[in-house]
Structure 1
């Protein structure tokens, strides 16, 4: 799978998990101590994020980081 497709698919999964929790980008950003703009870029597949950033997001959404992969 090409990197850009992988990032977009992962971003869709993160967005779905966030929306399932009823959270806005700003809410999740505050919870993770990550700027909401960065989360937006991750969700759109425009930013390659570090595994530790993904771990923070997964922890706050109560999912396993592997669910995004």
Structure 2
């Protein structure tokens, strides 16, 4: 699953994820659309905010 799929599965809005992670909503949108790739610092913030293993964000698996 990719970032958007993980976020939606956890019923978290981009706005809420922005507040939980400290990453702007605009940047989250760019990550989800593929326009930008997060650095390791933001991957760590996202994994903590979403309560998922970092590997889920680094090596996303296709949704079943």
TM range (shorter): 0.7 to 0.9
Quote the Cα distance in structure 2 between the aligned partners of 1:60 and 1:67: 13
List alignment gaps of at least 5 residues for structure 2. 60-64
The count of aligned residue pairs is 58
Q: Which runs of at least 4 in structure 1 moved beyond 6 Å after TM superposition? A: none
Are 2:13 and 1:30 equivalent residues in the alignment? no
- Aligned Cα root-mean-square deviation (Å): 1.1
Are 2:38 and 1:49 equivalent residues in the alignment? yes
TM-score by length of 2: 0.83
Higher share in helix: 1
TM-score by length of 1: 0.77
